[in-house]
Chain A
């Protein structure tokens, strides 16, 4: 458990969290490994977890007429899975496919949400960091949408 706590602290998402906050969320976390071709989640799945990518490459994909389209690649330091925090609990709207053998922390959404509810400071810390990441991804998506190279 102590090793997991130490390595969790090293992930950029949690790096500036207080030691007590990391200790508090560690019981929600598991270390998971995926092989190339595995899916962290597929379009239409319930989103039950927040993934903190430690190693490897994950592609965010969709498909059209039998053809896969990659929107973005994620790597070490990135996070994915936000819907577990929202009231609507939307289904995943893209495939998250492992391109290269990938190591993640998987934080169970229900467990994490219960801890965030019981400790508002922790809830605020996680929510603001998720919002920052989501905002940055939205900005990138807007730039992609501009299709500047056409």
Chain B
């Protein structure tokens, strides 16, 4: 009889690369080469532990095809992530996971694939985009729509330029406000959903961003004749245990860490419309 592993015990991982993406957003690559690498599915998250400070749930933002590196993109916004931003290459982070339900990319096979990201929501969608492009021939149109507060808040610009440069991807980025130096569209991301070229009834959509944005984007996608069951959202709640025991991440009758973070819009729409949960 073997002793079960303690699910709350983080594994120490060394930071091999630290990138400052935006003033308050940073990316760490963690060394996971030992033990055969770190397998995850796009959309899943890890609990990252900053020694002596605390744990936070952060989605994996790296390439699922490269298990030798684990990548997380993090906004410095709370008591754990602010001091986490000060870590440098060679420092350690505790990692446990991966947890949660992944993006169900297989449900989009043979259909148009619509990916809508708002702000930092591009981070959990990045592994999905990478995986979808590695399997590009399995999908119809691939449409990536990105919304941000301003041009200076757009994430992963190098990736965005690469994806935009492909002839088999339609990519559009829109910002809420800009000055004249920005040459792209200005407005809300729902505008891109209204105008993009895809076949609604034959499309599957994956959406991640602030909750209000997902509420409006979900409706806009349904307005383009996607069925709510073909629209998938990634929810964010304060998570503690990550394994569906503590109840911190309860969202209506569900625990986001276990039954989410990825939900279909037909399941999420009622909860999104319910205030104060």
Contacts and interface: CB of A to CB of B under 8 A. Distances in A.
A144 B191 CA distance: 11
Interface string A44-70: 000000000000000101000001111
Given A148-B210, A149-B119, A140 B191 contact: yes
Nearest to A71: B186
B173 to A, nearest CB: 12
A2 interface: no
A144 B180 contact: no
Candidate in A99, A146, A147, A148 with the most chain B CB atoms within 10 angstroms: A148
B176 A70 contact: no
Interface in B173-190: 176-180, 182-183, 185-188, 190
Given A70-B179, A149-B118, A149-B210, A144 B187 contact: yes
Candidate in A59, A69, A146, A149 with the most chain B CB atoms within 10 angstroms: A149
Contact of B176 (A61, A67, A99, A144): A144
Interface residues of A, number: 19
A132 interface: no
Interface in A108-150: 140, 143-144, 146-150
Contacts of A90: none
Nearest to A77: B195
Given A148-B213, A149-B176, A72 B149 contact: no
Contacts of B216: 143
B149 A147 contact: yes
Interface residues of B, number: 24
Contacts of A146: 212
A73 interface: yes
Contacts of B118: 148-149
Interface string B167-210: 00000000011111011011110110000000000000000011
Contacts of A148: 118-119, 209-210, 212-213
Contacts of B188: 140, 143-144
Contacts of A150: 149
B212 A73 contact: no
Given A70-B177, A144-B176, A149 B186 contact: no
Candidate in A59, A143, A150 with the most chain B CB atoms within 10 angstroms: A143
A52 to B, nearest CB: 16
B188 to A, nearest CB: 5
B90 to A, nearest CB: 32
Contact of A69 (B179, B187, B191, B210): B179
Contact of A68 (B147, B153, B179): B179
A72 B186 contact: yes
Contacts of A72: 186-187
A113 B188 CA distance: 32
B154 to A, nearest CB: 10
A140 B190 contact: yes
Given A70-B186, A140-B190, A143-B216, A149 B179 contact: no
B18 interface: no
A147 B176 contact: yes
Return the 6 tightest CB-CB contacts between A and B, nearest first.
A149-B119, A149-B149, A148-B210, A143-B188, A70-B186, A73-B185
9 contacts: A69-B177, A69-B179, A70-B180, A140-B188, A143-B190, A144-B177, A148-B209, A149-B149, A149-B209
Given A72-B186, A140-B191, A149-B209, 11 more contacts: A61-B180, A68-B180, A70-B179, A70-B182, A73-B187, A148-B119, A148-B209, A148-B210, A149-B118, A149-B153, A150-B149
Interface of A: 59, 61, 67-73, 75, 99, 140, 143-144, 146-150
Interface of B: 118-119, 147-149, 153, 176-180, 182-183, 185-188, 190-191, 209-210, 212-213, 216
